[in-house]
Structure 1
Amino acid sequence: MKTVTLAEAQAQLSSLIEQVEAGEEIVIIKDGLPIARIVLNPASSQQLPSLVEFRAKQPWQSESAGDFIRRLRDMDR
């Protein structure tokens, strides 16, 4: 856990955020007392599923995108 003053936190916010993303916990102090703590948001560290599997399950389109759109457009006439 790293401790910084409020003035240091204001001056180095981008650097502190990078440290938090790397797993560090930052405590901000003012007048010698801890007033805030910066930690990684657990929801932001969740991995999203890979799109590779999703794309592999999609059927291959036999016609071009242009032909597909023309066919849809012409069906409304």
Structure 2
Amino acid sequence: MAELVIGPLISMVKEKASSYLLDQYKVMEGMEEQRKTLERRLPAILHIIQDAEEKGASRPEVAVWLKDLKAAAYEANDVFD
């Protein structure tokens, strides 16, 4: 009698776990693609920031924006290291 109750319950749990793991794999696969894209683009982003700092450092509002952008870019770069 217990087998009639436990069998479907185990099947349901197994199906939910499989579905969850598949969803997590899809998320991780998408993140890996985004990581590769960022890794390719990061050197260009850092170069543009450096160029903008040299050209726009005299404007305070630009300097603050560039400081924040540079901090975010360096944090991203640290992730790859």
- In the superposition, the TM-score normalised over structure 2's length comes to 0.29
Greater strand share, structure number:
1
If you compute each CA radius of gyration, which structure gives the higher value, 1 or 2? 1
